[in-house]
Structure 1
Amino acid sequence: MKEALYPGRYWHSLGDGRIQCDLCPRYCRLHADQRGACFVRQRVDDQMILTAYGRSSGFCIDPIEKKPLNHFYPGSSVLSFGTAGCNLTCKFCQNWDISKSREMETLAAVAGPEAIAEAAAAYGCKSVAFTYNDPVIFAEYAMDVADACHERGVKAVAVTAGYMGAEARRDFYAKMDAANVDLKAFTDEFYFKLAGARLQPVLETLEYLRHETDVWLEITTLLIPGKNDSDDEIRAESRWIAKELGGDVPLHFTAFHPDYKMSDVPPTPPATLTRARAIALAEGLQYVYTGNVHDAEGATTYCPACHAPLIVRDWHAIESYRLTQGGRCPDCSAPIAGRFERFDRQFGRRRIPIRIGS
């Protein structure tokens, strides 16, 4: 019913009778009843409606390392959820059953911000993550959940491609405590052909997060054989991060598996991740990780000063934790970039589906 429709922000009317969505750089221009490319933002009468508000594709409790965030309260648990739709068109999407869904509105659970925040607190989660699909497209819902979480001492985490307009970006990240931004490649050609987007807006988001907010930032690049895994591209990306963001921003290189419209591309060999990590370290990045593979060295946090192993991981499980409560190396007292607190125990590698709302 009309009274249940949730009005979206970030749009304006055009002179030709259409309305333009300003949430992301796609700038969808909509006639009556049309939906944006993300599917969840729709013109109803003369306003923009967020059809995904309060609707989730499901809830799980995960280790924070699964996001992946290795320097944001390691070992803690995070309540994770998403909605339906996406504002990118990645041919390699590994959550395509959610991000490309056109039926999720009727299938999804209904849960408001207060219910989600209360559940996170009740389950002892340090944070809530907006993930599985991109929270950019359900920004108003995510921001309201973040507010409700903060009232209960729970942090808010965005797992995103970073493809967002300037006004929405400012409002959105004012509510977030941490973000993992998916830097899908370091060429505009890749973004245009394989993701239906452009590289520059993502770089602008990364620079904004690093230099104009207190949001804890980590970056992930999924390496796809023959698409974005050359030495030159990995070197260019690593060099840009070191120069424009700083060497202490953690970078995760993760392994691709054949999926969605790229099922004919082979999985990423572990040696590719090892090679990428070596290149990034050589370019001055201090914390470089490999993901979606068992690689003890690539999963371990080392002190950038004395190179002592500080957090030893196996996949998402922490095998050894030596950081001081203040986030310093116990051997040389060098500070480790991140958000840390007293480490008593870890959530571990398990993933627990839970039910919230109706």
Structure 2
Amino acid sequence: MSLEFAPEPIVEDVARRPARSAGVAGWGAALPATVVPNAAISEEAGVTPEWIVKRTGISERRHLAPGERLDALCAQAGREALAQAGLDGAALDAVLVATSTADDVFPQTAPVVAGMLGADHALNWDVGIACTGFVAGLAQGAALIESGRAENVLLIGADAVSRCIDPSDRGPAALFADGAGAAVLTRGGEGRVGAAVMGSDGASAHFLVASRENGVIRMEGQEVFKHAIARMAESSREVLAREGLAVEDIALVVPHQANGRITTALALRLGLTPEQVVDDIADRGNTSAGTIPLALHRAAGEGRLPERGHVLLVAFGAGFSWGATVLHYGGAA
């Protein structure tokens, strides 16, 4: 399969932008209390703690303890985002949860979380495309607001990937972790959600799979590595072209935190400076759909989100699936 870039992308016609815009009014985050350092997993995985840092950029991660639930973590992140937005659950028109590791086969996570937050009349569903879920959920939530079907949408990206790990398989054991991040989208909010580019390659799905039979992740790391870099670079360039932007116009890039080496390689591929890139993996690991909102929550707390400027979000995950979008701050076109 060719990994060449797509043909000349379509540049967005500014006049076609929706009259109603969706933006981010609040961020939230929640992590399990249990910290798992490299030393706790390295022996069973057959590697050293230093090997894990060198290969992934990760020193520690968080895991849910036995009996703890992902929906409770989602609700915690959602409450913080709602508080930042000055809203309560009853004001929500939709609750979307991007996850592939729900607590139960059914119900899905979104209706359970909606109930926890008092959003009893909100639309609700899970977005189940693994690590790309939060970017896809942003496009869905923004579309609800732009179309007039919603005023306020809570989007949560969360996964408990520790449930899917074989501790003796060094790749997944070193990488994956648990966590939840949330964003409240409102009509006219800051951080306007721009165009979105999505893609998939189902023929490559077998490179990253957790089967129904045992639920354990099996990953061909080198294939995932090269596809992730190519597809995230491709979709980044395409969404920037649609928005009429160049790489140097971007104040901050928040990629899915798949692996520290992937983030570094993507930055080199796109010609980004270190100051433009959020690398949030060292103490959190790869939380799948949770990585981008968790990184944005931390970036907001550190004052890294621009008062006026553009933030590029880009993700890649199982499926293969990938996507990118741009948040525009301070009225930046």
What TM-score do the two structures reach when normalised by structure 1? 0.30
Relative contact order, CA 8 A, sep 6+: which one is greater? 2
What TM-score do the two structures reach when normalised by structure 2? 0.32
